[in-house]
């Protein structure tokens, strides 16, 4: 797709599809949980419309159209969502898009200083916050000069922040607008991503492009009536990943756009494996979304107990972090009729490729790309590699891509490249294009270890270490070495506190499928591997631990 043919201002907006779906689904279930909470589609869209009217009444909206802006600029107000998984989080996300306000996901584990840095960078003019995190926001507010509106979601009548608007009171005070703002496919959907790259950056998606590439609701632009012809009313999705991260948001938004229902566990402020299985049983969830090993292993431990019977489940979708073939096999031993869909993508690309595992055929690491969208670019990022090329390159994606990074023209130019007139996004994932057309994912640049002149990809080694039966979780990093430049170190936690830690020789005995230079040269055993709520490894922390053990 040519660089100047990517975006079309006539594309259907997300909210127009959602309104049409809600009209068709009516009294069918839309939100199931937490607990006994239940919203029909009619109730959900009414609350979205009331929230949208409230946002506009508070002066929030679009102030400059996309056509008047550079790719890395925004002309809209930005609503930061400092919230855990809940119906209200979904309502406000949709309401923002309905009112021409750009929603921004924010990590609710941030300290006040981190909030200040992140929200000022993201140019947040409004914040919606669960009362659980109000004290941190209150500390940050004096240093958030752009924030003019705070909306607090609270179980009690009183807000913890005196200047905040009580969310339920706002809904009661506003009704659907007679003439709501005409939403545009150009309006922004912002994904705040840190990944392994350090400081969070806001990836700027046109919401019409996100419908296709992130939410996977269609393969190409189409009129609203076509969306209504492909509804999935039987789809009941439980996103384990938090809605403050892209993985959780994308699964939830896709479910809404196909007319399904979203299941929310009892204690959704944090991941709990038992609560997840209970919710799957109680609400008949058909799809569960996880993020790699850090979600799969606790779920398997609970499943091993025999206390749960998730017979309704037919798809386990994992993305955002690797899931080993051995873990997939264990899941399929319990649930032999389930399909495990391993998706690969990033905030800067949307979905790129996937692989499906079923009982008796659990694989990982090699993916089937979309031929019209996913490619491997050479090291210099100036050519596309062909299948069978020996060179390790960069995973690239074309088609409907983000506009860029918010107010960061330099980083936008680094990641989004034009090759032979085609615009690609290449955020830093190493890959190899195999002779059969499949693509082997080798890991992110930030977790590539150069040891003795050889490149070692942390994710490949982590999968090898996790083959050892005593290892619960693992992060592999490189630490400085006088001999090798960097040496490979595995930071691991054990399946049980009373286990004797395996030796390095024990670990490497399960890794004979890897070249010896990829084997860890040291082992650091910890009680718990530190990860983000979305399951992403904290590599700087792991590197500190590794250096203290070597």
Task: Of 6-15, 484-493, 527-536, give the range with the top mean pLDDT.
Answer: 484-493
**What's 470's domain CATH number?**
3.30.300.30
Q: Is residue 289 part of a domain?
A: no
The continuous run of DSSP H or E covering 257 comes out as: helix 246-257
Six-digit token string for 155: 């179980």
Task: Provide mean pLDDT across the span 317-334.
Answer: 88
Report which secondary-structure segment, H or E, holds 347.
Answer: none
Query: What pLDDT does 7 receive?
Result: 57
Domain span at 377: 366-443
- What percent of the chain is predicted at pLDDT more than 90? 69
**CB-based contact 542:491 (threshold 8 Å):** yes
Q: Span 225-246, mean pLDDT?
A: 94
How far apart are the C-alpha atoms of 139 and 133, rounded to whole Å?
10
Per-residue model confidence (pLDDT) at position 4: 42
Is the pLDDT at 371 greater than 50, yes or no? yes
Do 181 and 53 belong to one domain? yes
Residues 439 and 471 placed together within one structural domain of the fold: no
Q: Identify the helix (H) or strand (E) that includes residue 170.
A: helix 167-173
What is the Cα–Cα distance from 109 to 115, expressed in whole angstroms?
9
Give yes or no: residues 495 and 370 share one domain: no
Are 89 and 31 in contact by the 8 Å Cβ rule? The answer is no
Same domain, 135 and 197: yes
**Is pLDDT at 515 greater than 50 in this prediction?**
yes
> Which residues does residue 523 pair with via DSSP β-bridges, in sequence order?
490
- Whole-structure pTM value: 0.85
Quick check: helix, strand or coil at residue 392?
coil
Does 486 fall in a domain? yes
Nearest to 21 by CA among 180, 224, 212, 317: 224
- Shared domain check, 99 and 33: yes
Lowest mean pLDDT across 20-29, 441-450, 473-482? 441-450
* Count: domains in the chain: 3
Among 236, 270, 304, which residue terminates a domain?
A: 270
Task: Quote the CA–CA distance of 13 and 25 in Å, as a whole number.
Answer: 19
- d(Cα 234, Cα 285) in Å, to the nearest integer? 9
Q: Are residues 494 and 425 in the same domain?
A: no
Report residue 481's pLDDT band, with 50, 70 and 90 as the boundaries: confident
In a domain, residue 300? The reply is no
Residues 519, 485 within the same domain? yes
CA distance 471 to 493: 6
pLDDT of 10 strictly over 80: no
Per DSSP, which regions of 194-338 are E strands? 201-206, 236-239, 261-263, 287-290, 315-318
The closest alpha carbon to 25, from 258, 270, 259, belongs to 259
* pLDDT score of 412: 92
Q: Which residues contact 426 (CB under 8 A, 6 or more apart)?
A: 377, 381, 394, 395, 396, 397, 415, 417
Check pLDDT > 60 for residue 170.
yes
- Determine the Cα–Cα distance for residues 496 and 19; give it in Å rounded to an integer: 50
345 found inside a domain:
no
Compare 6 and 30 and report the one with higher pLDDT: 30
């Amino acid at each position: 797709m040519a660089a100047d043919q990517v975006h079309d201002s006539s594309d259907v907006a997300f909210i127009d599809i959602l309104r049409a779906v809600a009209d068709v689904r009516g009294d069918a279930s839309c939100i199931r949980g937490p607990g006994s909470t239940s919203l029909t589609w009619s109730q959900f869209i009414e609350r979205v419309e009331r929230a949208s009217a409230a946002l506009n009444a508070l002066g929030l909206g679009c102030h400059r159209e996309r056509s008047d802006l550079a790719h890395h600029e925004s002309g809209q107000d930005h609503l930061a969502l400092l919230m855990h998984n809940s119906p209200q989080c979904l309502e406000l996300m949709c309401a923002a898009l309905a009112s021409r306000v750009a929603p921004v996901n924010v990590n609710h584990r941030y300290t006040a200083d981190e909030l200040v840095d992140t929200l000022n960078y993201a140019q947040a003019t409004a914040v919606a916050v669960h009362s659980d995190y109000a004290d941190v926001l209150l500390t940050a507010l004096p240093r958030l000069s752009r924030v003019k509106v705070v909306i607090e979601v609270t179980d009690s009548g009183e807000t913890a922040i005196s200047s905040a608007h009580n969310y339920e009171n706002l809904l009661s005070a506003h009704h659907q607008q007679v003439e709501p703002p005409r939403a545009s496919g150009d309006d922004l959907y912002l994904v705040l991503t840190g990944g392994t790259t350090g400081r969070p950056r806001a990836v700027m998606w046109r919401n019409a492009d996100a419908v296709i590439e992130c939410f996977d609701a269609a393969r190409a632009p189409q009129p609203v009536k076509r969306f209504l012809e492909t509804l999935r009313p039987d789809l009941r999705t439980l996103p384990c990943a938090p809605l403050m991260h892209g993985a959780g948001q994308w699964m939830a938004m896709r479910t809404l756009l196909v007319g399904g229902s979203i299941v929310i566990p009892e204690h959704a402020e944090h991941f709990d494996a038992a609560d997840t299985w209970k919710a799957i049983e109680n609400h008949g969830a058909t799809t569960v979304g996880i993020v790699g090993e850090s979600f799969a292993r606790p779920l398997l431990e609970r499943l091993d107990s025999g206390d749960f019977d998730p017979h309704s489940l037919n798809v386990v979708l994992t993305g955002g972090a690797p899931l080993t073939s051995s873990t997939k096999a264990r899941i399929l031993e319990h649930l032999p009729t389930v399909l495990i869909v391993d998706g690969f993508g990033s905030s800067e690309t949307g979905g790129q490729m996937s692989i499906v595992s079923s009982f008796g055929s659990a694989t990982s690491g090699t993916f089937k790309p979309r031929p019209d969208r996913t490619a491997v670019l050479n090291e210099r990022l100036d050519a596309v590699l062909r299948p069978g090329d020996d060179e390790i390159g960069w995973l690239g994606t074309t088609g409907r891509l983000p506009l860029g990074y918010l107010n960061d023209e330099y980083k936008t130019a680094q990641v989004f490249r034009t090759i032979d007139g085609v615009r690609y996004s290449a955020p830093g994932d190493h890959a190899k294009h195999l002779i059969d057309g499949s693509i082997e994912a080798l890991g992110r640049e930030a977790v590539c270890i150069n040891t003795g002149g050889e490149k070692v990809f942390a994710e490949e080694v982590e999968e090898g270490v996790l083959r050892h039966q005593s290892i619960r979780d693992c992060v592999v990093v490189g630490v400085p070495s006088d001999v090798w430049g960097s040496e490979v170190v595995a930071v691991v936690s054990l399946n049980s506190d009373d286990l004797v830690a395996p030796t390095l020789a024990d670990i490497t005995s399960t890794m004979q499928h890897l070249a010896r230079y990829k084997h860890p040269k040291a082992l650091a055993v910890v009680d718990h591997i530190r990860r983000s709520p979305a399951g992403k490894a904290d590599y700087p922390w792991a590197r500190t631990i590794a250096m203290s053990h070597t």
